[in-house]
Chain A
C-alpha cells in the first residue's frame, strides 16, 4: 500500500520512537530502582555503624530495641549470608492501623567476647513515592517529546517538499501542444530538488524540440508534396484529352484521377493542420458566427438540394467572436459537413447557436470507435464516404488553438457535438 512520504515518516516515527521511548522508560525505571537500593544499603550500613557506636558508648542507657529504627540482639549464632543484604519487611503501626514497608539489614559486631547482631530499619515508603513521582515526570516529558518530534517532523517535511510539489504541479500543467513556457526555479535551496528541476527542464526542452521537429517535418513534407501533385494533376488533364482513348484506359485514368484528388485533399488538410499547430494564423478579427453559420448551411442546402437532411435552426443573431475568420469558417464548415455526410437517408440536422456555444445534432448510426478517438487524425467512420479523415482533427486543432471546449455525445441514434466558446 502506498502512502505519502509524510504519512510514511510519521508512521515510522510512531513505531520506532515509541519503542525507543518505552525501552528508555523501562531502563530508566530499572536504573532508578537499582540506584535507590544502593542508596538504602548505604543508609542502612551507616545507620548500623552509628547505632553500634552509640550502643557501645552508652551501654545500659540506650535501649536495645527501637521499633522501626533498630534491634540489637546478643547472639552467638553464625549470621547467614543473606542477612547482611538489604531485605524487605513490613511493620504494623497500631495507632495508624497500617502496615508500612521497610528495608532492613543485619550486621554482626563483637564486644567483650560477645557477639551482637545489629539490625537497622529504613522506611521504603518515601523512596517508593519518589520513584513513582520521578517516573511519572519522566513519562510526561517523554510523551511531550514524542508529540513534539512528530509535530516538528510533519511541519518540516511539508516545508521541505514544497519545491517538489511545485515542480510536480508545473509538470502536470504542462501541455506540449500549447506554446507555453515551462519554468521551474533552478535554485530551490535543496540540492536534490535542484537536480530534479534541472532534469525536468532538460526533459521538457528535449520533448519540445522533438515535437517542434515533428510538426516542422509534417509541414515541410506537405509543402514539398504539393508540386509533384500539381504536376500529376496537370498531366492527367492533358492525358484525358488525348484522342483515341479506349473505355478501359478512361476507366484507369478515372481511378488515378480520383486517387490523386484524394491525395491532394489530404495533403492540403495536413498542411493546414501543421500551420494551425505552428500558429501561422495570427490574424484575428471579429467573426459574425450567426451570418457565417447561415451562409454555410445555405451553401450546403444549395449543393445538396433535395438530398439535404431536414434541418431545424435555432440561431441567435449577432453572435460574434474574435478569431481568425478563415479558421472559424473551417471549424463551422467541417462540423456542418460532417453532420450532412455522416447522416442517414431522410435524416435530420439541428443547429443551435448562442453567445457562448455552438451545438449541432445529426441522426446517424453509433460510432464504431471510442468517442474520444473521433477527433483524432485519420479516424474514419463506418460508412462509405470517402473522407480524408482529417475534418474533425482540424476542428479539434482549431478549438485547441482558441481554448474552445469540444464535446461529443451520442444518445438515441443522434450525434451531438458542442463547441463552447467561453466557459465563463
Chain B
C-alpha cells in the first residue's frame, strides 16, 4: 500500500511516516504545496494524508488540482482548523474523510484502513485475526465460526483494536473513537474499561483467552 503524507510540520510528518511505515505502508512525504503536486503527478497512491495549511498554497487547492486531473486517490484531510467550513469544503471537493488536529495516530490509522477497505478492498470486508473473524459489512464477529453477541460499543471497540493490531492503543484514543471529542473525562475511561472487560469475558466464553492485553495504565492491544 502506498501512502503520501503532505504536512508542513516536520516533526508531525516524521511521526506519521514512522507510524505508517510500522504498519507496512510504503510512505512518501511532502512538506509543501509544490512538493505535494510533484509527488502526485509522478506517482499513484492508495491514500493521501493532506494538511490544509501548507506553505505555498492551501491543501484544498491541492485537492482541487488532484480531482481535476481525474486522480481518484483516497484523500484524508487533516487540519488544525476545526471549523465546519473547511470540513464541508474539503468533503465537497472530493476528500474521503476529515480529521482535526490534534488527532490520535490510532484514529488516523483506523480512518486510513477504513478508506482503503471501502475504496479498493472489495474482497477484504472480512478481517481475519487468528481465530477471530470480523465482517465489516454485516458488522458481526465470530470466533472459530461461533458468533459473538456484541453491543454497538463493543463491536466498534473491537474493530478499532483489530485495525490497530499489535499496537498499544491508549484509553484516550479509544474513548475518543467511541464517544467523540467531548469524551475526555475519567468516567469515559471507566466505560472503556468496562467494555474491554465485557469483550474479554465474551472471548473467554468462546475459548479465546488473552486475545486482548492490558498494558499497565496505558491502554490495550490485540496480538495475533
Contacts and interface: CB of A to CB of B under 8 A. Distances in A.
Interface of A: 223, 226-227, 229-238, 240-241, 247, 250-251, 253-255, 257-258, 261-262, 264-265, 268, 271, 275, 280, 283, 302-305, 307, 326, 333-334, 337, 341, 384-387
A91 to B, nearest CB: 113
Contact of B217 (A251, A265, A307, A341): A251
B106 interface: yes
A386 B185 contact: yes
Interface of B: 9, 11-12, 15-16, 18-19, 22, 80-84, 101-106, 152-153, 167-168, 170, 172-173, 178-179, 181-182, 184-188, 191, 194, 215-219
A101 B11 CA distance: 122
B167 to A, nearest CB: 5
A254 B194 CA distance: 19
A387 B84 contact: no
Contacts of B102: 226, 229-230, 232-234, 264
Contacts of B184: 261-262, 264-265
Contact of B172 (A257, A334, A337): A257
Contact of B82 (A231, A268, A337): A268
B19 A237 contact: yes
B101 A226 contact: yes
B191 A227 contact: no
Contact of A386 (B152, B186, B218): B186
B154 to A, nearest CB: 11
Contact of A227 (B9, B84, B194): B9
Chain B binding surface SS class: helix
B185 A240 contact: no
Contacts of B80: 223, 226-227, 230
B104 to A, nearest CB: 7
Contact of A385 (B104, B173, B179, B187): B187
Nearest to A246: B216
A241 B167 contact: yes
B194 A305 contact: yes
B216 A237 contact: no
Contact of B187 (A235, A253, A268, A341): A341
Nearest to B84: A326
A232 B172 CA distance: 14
Contacts of B170: 236-237, 240, 257
Contact of B103 (A230, A236, A307, A341): A230
A303 B195 CA distance: 10
A100 B16 CA distance: 128
Contacts of B194: 305
B89 to A, nearest CB: 13
A223 B168 CA distance: 29
A307 B187 CA distance: 10
Nearest to B175: A261
A231 to B, nearest CB: 5
B171 to A, nearest CB: 8
Given A238-B15, A261-B184, A303-B191, 12 more contacts: A227-B101, A229-B101, A236-B170, A237-B106, A240-B215, A241-B167, A241-B168, A250-B217, A250-B218, A268-B181, A303-B178, A304-B187
A247 B216 contact: yes
Contact of B101 (A230, A261, A386): A230
A271 B82 contact: yes
Contacts of A238: 15, 18-19, 105
